[in-house]
């Protein structure tokens, strides 16, 4: 499948999977306390504060698509993966609600975050409600115990990644206590890759796939998570704000220890030393971006993403997946990691 074909097919795949999952997701959220359900609906982009209908973006639906495609890759109909898609989407949204509180982020997808719109306590409660609903959704499936085990592993890794993310913020740019690229790679796998891999694995499990296929899709999703996060890091420094929705040099302004920065600081060149001084001052963001590129941070990040894309392809090539679903899965993965680069 060519890159052009992938780029054209992936949005259609996402639309198809969202349409399949949306009724079940709405039904699940409808079981929550009405106020908690309203906050959940606001987080999904379905309503405004107070419950009035909204047309806000609820995100691409990547994880729910991976769950549906995981079931189809096992040779089952996509609807077999819908409970996995609902559970993973609930968990993902729960993690975003709590993540926004921990990071103090006032906006998401060009709207106030839930904690800004409703308050910190209510947002925590809404996140807890979504998590409980995800567990209930999987518990009643025929693969309940095994599905819950897969979700628990993904959640444990997600928490591990979030803990490292918070701790890394307090570590220095240089010296023995600095964050190394390998540590960041592990963070990306845990914080981003665990739920992507978990989504595909859960869908496959509910679709009746053997353990080898479930494990393969989990590994593919974890590699995808690293590639996706590293590409996001590149866009966070050099991406077009009109496309990314983020201000230029936004990640540098927030002093995030992203992969391009860490790779540049590790480079044995004069630009790395000058970069450390600029980062410590926190002033000239354009100069910092130029020094990261001069020290090789941008190219190192792109090379890292390419390595993990190749790893995804290798895992998928070795797994006995249903042909049509395998092609759509590749189209989706290609679309996610090659955006705007």
Spatial distance between the Cα atoms of 231 and 341, rounded to a whole number of angstroms: 8
Task: Calculate ∠ Cα 285-291-293, nearest 5°.
Answer: 110
Spatial distance between the Cα atoms of 8 and 78, rounded to a whole number of angstroms: 21
Task: Tell me what percent of the residues of the chain surpass a pLDDT of 70.
Answer: 95
Block residue for tokens 């839930």: 114
Block residue for tokens 């567990």: 135
Spatial distance between the Cα atoms of 210 and 189, rounded to a whole number of angstroms: 24
Spatial distance between the Cα atoms of 318 and 216, rounded to a whole number of angstroms: 9
What confidence category does residue 243 fall into, taking pLDDT thresholds of 50, 70 and 90?
low
Burial of 270 (0-12, 13-18, 19+ CB in 10 A): exposed
Residue range 10-68, pLDDT digits in tens: 889 999 999 999 999 999 999 999 999 999 999 999 999 999 999 877 788 999 999 99
* 3-state SS, residue 44: helix
Spatial distance between the Cα atoms of 108 and 97, rounded to a whole number of angstroms: 10
For the whole model, what pTM was predicted?
Answer: 0.92
Q: Average pLDDT, whole number, for the chain?
A: 92
């Amino acid at each position: 499948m060519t890159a052009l074909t992938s780029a054209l097919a992936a949005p259609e795949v996402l639309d198809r999977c969202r349409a399949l999952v949306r009724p079940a997701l709405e039904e699940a959220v409808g079981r929550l306390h009405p106020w908690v359900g309203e906050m959940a609906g606001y987080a999904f982009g379905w309503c405004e504060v107070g419950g009035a209908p909204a047309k806000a973006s609820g995100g691409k639906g990547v994880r729910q698509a991976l769950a549906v495609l995981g079931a189809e890759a096992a040779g089952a109909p996509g609807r077999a993966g819908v409970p996995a898609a609902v559970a993973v989407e609930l968990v993902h949204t729960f993690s975003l609600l709590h993540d926004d509180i921990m990071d103090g982020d006032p906006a998401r997808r060009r709207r106030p975050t839930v904690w800004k719109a409703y308050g910190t306590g209510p947002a925590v409660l809404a996140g807890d409600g979504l998590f409980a609903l995800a567990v209930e959704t999987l518990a009643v499936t025929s693969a309940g115990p095994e599905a819950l085990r897969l979700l628990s592993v993904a959640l444990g890794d997600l928490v591990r990644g979030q803990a490292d993310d918070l701790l890394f913020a307090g570590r220095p740019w240089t010296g023995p206590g600095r964050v190394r690229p390998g540590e960041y790679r592990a963070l990306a796998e845990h914080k981003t890759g665990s739920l992507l891999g978990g989504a595909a694995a859960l869908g496959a499990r509910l679709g009746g796939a053997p353990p080898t296929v479930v494990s393969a899709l989990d590994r593919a999703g974890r590699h995808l998570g690293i590639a996706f996060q590293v590409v996001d890091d590149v866009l966070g420094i050099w991406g077009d704000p009109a496309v990314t929705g983020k201000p230029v040099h936004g990640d540098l302004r927030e002093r995030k220890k992203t992969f391009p920065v860490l790779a540049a600081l590790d480079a044995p060149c004069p630009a790395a030393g000058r970069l450390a001084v600029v980062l410590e001052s926190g002033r000239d963001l354009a100069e910092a971006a130029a020094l990261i590129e001069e020290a090789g941070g941008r190219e190192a990040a792109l090379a890292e993403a390419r390595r993990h894309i190749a790893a995804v392809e290798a895992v998928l090539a070795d797994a006995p997946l249903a042909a049509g679903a395998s092609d759509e899965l590749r189209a989706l993965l290609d679309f996610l990691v090659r955006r705007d680069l």
